[in-house]
Chain A
């Protein structure tokens, strides 16, 4: 193999200043070669970003860096400021997570994209405009001549991230570090951005370090993988090896906690416990408190294992590597719980929740008199039903109206039109008092476990609050009931007197669930309940939700953008686009035989955590962005991006009707399985 572009040896980063030192990175070795993508995965706080900032010399002064980082002949740890500055932009380019904040709002895109090259004297300032146009064209931004003088707020999220790629690659650096480059983007946009990144890498032959928590993205684009845990690399090897023959219990745990879009598993196998706090790392192997093998072993508790080669090019830091394979076999055939709930049985009765042609339009106001100048059609005719004891998934990209639908069903937002019947009762016309009563049976769980709990109340009081509001605290059993609720969601009674800040994200979400269950509702509307959580914690919460459903016979309306999670948890799934449901079906049918072009594109854009699927799966990369819901296109809303659009689609809106031969309803003039008609 050729010379590595980057060579890191024994890297340690410790944050000092303020309290006890935090060892964020503890002895990391890796190399990256030209033309290669090294994927770094790991949960939040594992040291991924700190490692990448160390490589570029961008850590704050409170960080103490030790070891060696050799990037294109520069020893980063000892180089002076000017050498590092010369290196940035010329030898290494960076792409960061959130394209809304990584660009400066007050300068044009063109200026920001070319500024680095001007600073390095690679191009004269006078040629910047022309170079900017060229760079934007290279990342497939339409109309680069017009776009180059625009400002970041005039770009969509996906276009901004492509501009950031153009910026990072402008000086043709030999190394690109992309830290969660697509985490803030929708899947269809993520697919566009990843393909642009791959194209530019092929053009320039750069080495790429791709940092992400998304194993699907890693499987799709990485050649080699490094798995980080507690500030160390615990396993590294070629991507196939990592996914097919993982050699570290943590990697096995990550793979097993992941819901899959390409398979129907009964139950996830989460990793127990929480990721470690870098300020208080466990002794010995940092994974031992969560490890199914080493939890009780003396050696694992006391001795930190070294990263050793297991097979050629595949290294693992585990004392008991030989036993890892058994771990995998163990759960390869998971104890499949028999499908106990039979939602079909309930379906015969009237549905618990029936939403019909629900509309929520928000006025757009402008001018001094705040006159109404238009409407945002956030929800524009949504019909769906949820039966008792059943889970219906509602998926769609950001801004499609999922949350507004959920809130309108709860009566938290006034519906503009249509009807919502809960248990036979029309909810949209209830008086506030009646609505409050109805809400006893219908509860809402929010996405953000951090802000949805009142920080100045104990968690016991938070959970008791709905009972007090409805004046049934004593009637429902008082303190005993509260303790029961905590046990129900897997938290010990001893935590009742603590405050929300003392809990991790996953635990806060459990508290939110306990609060929602206090009134013994029959329906939970869950709005992105696991989106903010790490994979291993996400699996714990999903399992909890499934257990609760079985035990209490709850119905769920599960709102999410993550198609894999939705497949795992739902019985039926509805797909939204621009305020409308465009396809709805029984889960397996929807995922295996989608008939609407948007569903088909959406599903094909989801990265699958299986490196073999890279070459076999068919990819439909959608052009363009989701249109503005205040100015939807005429005819079928999807036609500007649709690969099947005909003249009819441009003028006539398709009706939402049953599709023959499948338990599916869809809104498309040319609906049909992939490969059949396209």
Chain B
């Protein structure tokens, strides 16, 4: 297994290289440069020229990319055009916050979604199933910014239990502070994703219920709860973890709207800011980070697969 993981990581390198080139090309294809914002409206042509040279935009694109790549290979992602801070530090400043929110949201989604799916599958097409399906539809249908504002109105303005503007507090430093600050945004995203989880898992459970081994399990005299909760659930989990992985990766890649509503310091807002300012190194760095997150989560999903399904062997 370790060998497999190492090989998978090695296979990543060409993927990252090609995607970096792609991102670079895309950034340049988008009209506009950071220079205007950098030097201000009243700058003289000389000032503009100097700024262009300072940032390195006078070089041919391939040369620029090559320079970036060389330093990226040793972990230096360059500096932000505006703040002059190292891009790596900027990202690392936001990453833990984003990670905490992403994991929190996924957790809330699972806690809400799994029981809904299991109950629905236990009594398919009953009134319970129908009301739960209605609930998932609602969770999916409500826009997150709307739900976020509602939650702020309820928990912060009315009840005054939680702060309306969230800051990042690490769960390792102050668990209580972290929960207070992350709870509302995580709940907002979690409710939404629980709708996706519940629908997907219900469908997956119901299709597994038709399998022959279910009849076998029943014929042994297992309780229906165990037939569904153990035999069926474990098999239905396989396609489900893929979806959970995808959603988690999406959250960790940043959730612009929710971060904005709660003024949460996540990667999503950093990216928006970088894009509006045409802060090329920062855009490149953040997108690279999101890519790595996706790839790592994908790898985790694969490893989880092998753990859930003994037929899968990685060697």
Does B22 sit within 8 A of A, measured CB to CB? no
Is A368 touching B311 in the complex (CB atoms < 8 A)? no
Complex Cα distance A151/B215, Å? Answer: 19
Interface assignment of B160: CB less than 8 Å from any CB of chain A = no
Contacts of A301 in B (CB 8 A): none
Residues of B within 8 Å of A98, CB to CB, are: 212
By a CB distance below 8 angstroms, the chain B residues around A103 are 213, 216
A167 touches B220 (CB 8 A): yes
Cβ of A551 to closest chain B Cβ, rounded Å: 44
Given A85-B223, A88-B221, A116-B221 in contact, is the A104-B216 Cβ separation under 8 Å? yes
Instruction: Give the number of chain B interface residues (Cβ < 8 Å).
Output: 23
Look across to chain A and name the residue whose beta carbon is closest to the beta carbon of B11: A368
Other-chain contact of B222, A96, A116, A164 (Cβ < 8 Å): A116
**Chain A hits for B215, CB < 8 A:** 58, 96, 102
- Check A115 against B222 for contact (C-beta < 8 Å): yes
> A90: nearest residue on chain B (CB-CB)?
B221
**Cβ-defined contact, A151 with B221, below 8 A:** no
Asked whether, in the complex, the Cβ of B212 is within 8 Å of the Cβ of A101, the reply is yes
Among B218, B220, B234, which residue has the most Cβ atoms of chain A within 10 A?
A: B220
A94 to B218, CA, bound (A): 10
Q: Is B40 in contact with chain A by the CB < 8 A criterion?
A: no
B213 touching A104, Cβ below 8 Å: yes
Bound-state CA distance A440–B310 (Å) is 48
Q: A45-61 vs B: 1/0 string, CB under 8 Å?
A: 00000000000101000
Cα distance, A250 to B223, chains bound together (Å): 42
Q: Contact residue range for chain A?
A: 20 to 34
Q: Mark A339-380, 1 if CB is under 8 A from B, else 0.
A: 000000000000000000000000000001000000000000
- The interface residues of chain B lying within 8 Å CB-to-CB of A107 are 231, 234
For window 73-94 of A, CB contacts with B under 8 Å fall at 81, 85-90, 93-94
A119 near B221 with CB under 8 A, answer yes
Minimal beta-carbon separation of B221 from chain A (angstroms): 3
Chain A residues with CB below 8 A from B216, complex form: 94, 96, 102-104, 112, 164, 167
- Mark interface residues in B192-226 (1 if CB within 8 Å of A CB, else 0): 00000000000000000001110111111111101
- How far does the alpha carbon of A102 sit from the alpha carbon of B215 in the complex, in Å? 8
Report chain B residues within 8 Å CB of A116: 220-222
B217 neighbours in A (Cβ, 8 Å): 104, 115
B85, CB-defined interface residue at 8 Å: no
Chain B window 213-247, contacts with chain A (Cβ cutoff 8 Å), 1 for yes, 0 for no = 10111111111101000010011000000000000
| Assembly CA distance A106 to B236 (angstroms) | 11
Q: Is A105's beta carbon under 8 Å from chain B?
A: yes
A26 at the interface (CB under 8 A from B): no
Interchain CB contact under 8 A, B219 and A88? yes
Q: Is A199 an interface residue (CB 8 A)?
A: no
The prevalent SS among residues of A at the interface is helix
Contacts of B231 in A (CB 8 A): 104, 107
Q: Indicate if the CB atoms of B220 and A119 lie closer than 8 Å.
A: yes
In the bound complex, residues from chain A placing their C-beta under 8 Å from that of B58 are none
CB pair A58–B211 under 8 Å, yes or no, is: no
Asked if A153 is at the interface (CB within 8 A of a chain B CB), the reply is: yes
Residue of chain B at shortest CB distance from A56:
B219
Shortest A100–chain B CB gap in Å is 9
- Residues of chain A within 8 A (CB-CB) of B43 are none
Q: Known contacts A85-B221, A153-B310: does B212 contact A106 (CB below 8 Å)? A: no
A120 within 8 A of B: yes
Question: Is the pair A105, B223 in contact by a Cβ cutoff of 8 Å?
Answer: no
Tell me if B130 is interfacial: C-beta within 8 Å of chain A: no
Q: Does B308 contact A (CB under 8 A)?
A: yes
A625-639, CB < 8 A from B: none
Contact B219–A89 (Cβ < 8 Å): yes
Bound-state Cα–Cα, A565 to B219, Å:
35
Q: How far is the CA of A410 from the CA of B212 in the complex (A)?
A: 37
Closest to B220 in A: A116
Cβ contact within 8 Å between A105 and B221: no
- 12 of the cross-chain contacts (CB-CB < 8 Å) are A81-B224, A88-B218, A88-B220, A89-B221, A89-B222, A96-B216, A101-B211, A102-B216, A103-B216, A107-B231, A116-B221, A119-B223
**Inter-chain pairs besides A94-B219, A96-B219, A115-B220, 20 sampled, C-beta below 8 Å:** A56-B219, A58-B218, A85-B221, A85-B224, A89-B219, A89-B221, A96-B212, A101-B213, A104-B213, A105-B309, A105-B310, A107-B234, A119-B226, A120-B221, A151-B310, A153-B310, A153-B311, A167-B220, A171-B221, A368-B7
Closest 7 CB pairs of A and B: A89-B221, A116-B220, A88-B221, A101-B212, A94-B219, A104-B213, A151-B310
